[in-house]
Structure 1
Amino acid sequence: MTLPKIHIKINNHTSTSLQLTISNAPLPFLNALRRTILEEIPAVAISKIIFHKYVGIVPEEVLAHRLGLVPIFCDALLLVDSAVPTRNSCVRMRIRKRGADGGVWVRSDDIEVVHFDSGRRMCSWSRAVEEDDGLEEVDGDGIANALDHTYNANLPMIKPGVLITKLGPNQCLDAEMYATRGTAKEHAKYSSVNICYYRMHPILTLNRSFKNEDAHLLKKRFKDGVIGIRRKGKDEEAYVMDDKEVIDVEDIEGVSVRMDEHCVLFYVETEFIDPWEVVKRGLYVLVERSKALRRDVGTYLNGGQSTVSE
């Protein structure tokens, strides 16, 4: 049985948002990709905090939790995967603040990056996974080559303006923090995306002609760009210009919508990393998982001796 080829079209792509039209993809595959992007693409977050000195009304446990949720803008590829913080597996940060009369707000702007030593000045996602798994570098083709990407080892950034606590007179905060690599399976703070979801592509149909005033009224019922108006003889007539943003038309007479089961709209929004890069990393994880499953099944069917080639 030959499955139809999956087609991916980029509808809208910015530095932090992405909208794709994916055709002929099975829904279980799309759901697996969505879950992989949400849960298994590594990100960087604060995982260890050392309080050198702290005097304040917020308990240390609560303050540590708030510090751990401060977004760290750093590509996880630049850090080595390690169970404990090491020189090239973490970003070391420090925060020092003293209170005063009237109170002093402590924000993420007060966090300073003290140490960042990445062992990966130029690295690809596939190579990073191979290094972490202790595998040798291979000359892959197909998706491995498609995912090859060069990164600049810029200093990590801390999202500004995040409120942490407030210090009064004779109060102070002196803490050391370590940000490491992890996945959202461990904690939601390691999520590399803000949202990731998909929905069926709507097909909007005008069952009758909408002309002149009716055409303009119909256009106002939808988002900009969904309904267009063109000149037809002496009249202005409405037509469907782009139906991707259609949600519900149940209360509009003469208009119907159905969902295309073979075409979906896939949405990804991130905080700082290119969302298209996140999608490619999710695809790579799925491919590697499929290869591992194929090897395991082949080993089982052959009595413990794998003969399945990749």
Structure 2
Amino acid sequence: MSKDYFEDVPPELILVLAPSLSTASLNALGQTCDRLHKMLQPELESRITPELARDLLVWAAPSKPHIIAKLLAPPHSVPPNPPGVWKSPLHIAAEAGNLETTRLLLAAGADPAADWEQDWYQPLHLAAEKKHIDVIKLLLDNGAPVDLGYGCDERRKTALHYACTIGHLDMMQLLIERGANIENRGHFGTALGFAVHYHQREAIKFLLDRGADASVIVPLFILLEGGPPLPHEANLLYVVLDLRHPSSLPYPRRVRGGTSGPTKWEELPLEQSQRELMTLLLAHGASKENTMQTILRHVGALAKEAECTEEEYLDIIAGMFKEAEDAIPDVQ
């Protein structure tokens, strides 16, 4: 049917037929032209039950602020934290990055600290993972807690930790300005621990320039289930050197190569990125002695994995440290 056809239908007939149509059909009919929309809107409004209004609020949260505004206002007055939904409208709006729907929900009283699912995701965490800086600002302006963690393990991570894993300097700057604690600990230790674990050089420099503690001890594993080999924690220099047992990693960063590759561990040079990170950490107070103590406690197992003697292994480590220490004057 054409749009012109509906213009000729008597309004009395349309109003008589409306009650016999399903809500979905009535809504579809109302979308065909402005005339029908104006005529049928009161009937549609009268059919919005509290349960339907709640579902519509969730549906509209990502991108429809005009519907959000109508549902939050009388006569519907849908609560912004509706019970019985899988994911709150504010979580959905924040994840979508819609500043207007997020603002409307917050103004109506939506809880910026509400948890979602067993991982305790809050709207701030979802906005951070999607890199929605403006939404992060709005949530913080409305009381979203900046240092609360989320994740499946007991140590978890914060929005700042996540920003460090991806090296997002603008997000890091914003969160720190709003009070995020750079020494707050998650499953890879402090913010610096997360940045080092993911080899985010600029993020590491950013944190060190703001006084991050380069001497911290951090976990080497998120979870300890399955009996990973010792050590389970070490300092950041140890992390950069990738000195955990290769058998403990799904794909070790330092491998000896196949039949066509190098046959001795010492033939693998210290990678440039490792040298740069070691140099940065040493220049900011990371302890070589602490790293060596950890290595010496486990040198037998480490040397066995490297297929060399303990003496050869320690010589290799000494050479790596010399490379990094020689570069410190350039950093300073």
Q: Which has the larger radius of gyration?
A: 2
TM bucket by the smaller chain?
under 0.3
Bigger strand fraction: 1
By relative contact order (CA 8 Å, sep 6+), the higher-ranking structure is 1
